[in-house]
Amino acid sequence: PELLARVQRLLPLEIREEEVERVRERLHESMALNRLRGTDPAFLAVKQRILRAAKTDVTVLVTGETGTGKELTAQAIHYLSSRASKPFVPVDCGAIPSELFENELFGHRRGAFTDARSHQHGLIAEAEGGTLFLDEVDALPPTVQVKLLRFLEDRSYRPLGSPRALKADVRLVAATNTDLSAKVQESRFRGDLFYRLNVVNLRLPSL
């Protein structure tokens, strides 16, 4: 706030707001991309694609080997987007037991199962207005793949034990270090979900 106030005092009144907004955008770009380090032409090309993807609200699939910066890429997309002031919620799909995943993602209502003594918001509700990042999306159990596909179709979901569906304003970014198209061919990942996730593909070059 102090920096913005100083900038405003230096600028003529008629261009203050417009110029401050441009400065803000440049600062956001610099801070969001600064953690993605590298000078290889292929990597610099990906950074330009990140900037373009962030200006839209489409679903993004980030692919690349372990350690190439998939979560940093997802964070950059979020903080360069119009959702920057809202939550960024990362989910390690490979770390959640399959039998608990639906509850973690969608939440539940009291009485949905034996130990459900109160309502619990899921990760989708926590990411409301912001970005949900599904890392290792290839680890999603088949039953959750079906429900995630339905969510992507109309952004609605049903918490466990709820009599009605809820709407969510959430952008989805997914990541994997495997070849999802090959898994589709092997019937190990749903083809329709793959195409919903792969609207924009950002392939990160090897280190």
Q: pLDDT by residue (tens digit) across 135-165?
A: 999 999 888 899 899 899 988 888 776 677 8
Distance CA 88, CA 151 (A): 18
Which comes out higher in pLDDT, residue 20 or 199? Answer: 199
Would you say residue 105 has pLDDT above 60? yes
Range in 18-27, 59-68, 117-126 the model is least confident about: 18-27
Sign of the alpha-carbon dihedral angle for 70, 76, 82, 87: positive
Please give the backbone phi and psi of residue 50, each rounded to the nearest 5 degrees, phi first.
-60, -45
Pair type for strands 156-157 and 171-176 = unpaired
Sign of the alpha-carbon dihedral angle for 143, 144, 149, 150: positive
What is the largest distance, in Å, between two alpha-carbon atoms of the chain? 65
Rounded mean pLDDT of 3-17?
69
Q: Smallest Cα–Cα separation from 73: which of 87, 52, 93?
A: 52
Most confident of 7-11, 98-102, 172-176: 172-176
Q: How confident is the model at residue 25 (pLDDT cuts 50, 70, 90)?
A: low
Reported pTM: 0.80
Rounded mean pLDDT of 32-59?
84
Report pLDDT digits (tens) over 84-94.
889 999 999 98
C-alpha distance from residue 131 to each of 36, 57, 84, 151, 169 (Å): 19, 10, 9, 14, 9
Residue 72's Cα: distance from chain center in Å? 11
Would you say residue 201 has pLDDT above 60? yes
Q: What is the pLDDT of residue 44?
A: 84
Are 73 and 50 spatial neighbours (Cβ–Cβ below 8 Å)?
A: yes
- Number of H helices and number of E strands within the chain? 9, 9
Q: What is the pLDDT of residue 111?
A: 53
Q: What is the pLDDT of residue 122?
A: 84
Q: What is the pLDDT of residue 31?
A: 60
Q: Smallest Cα–Cα separation from 205: which of 1, 15, 51, 46?
A: 46
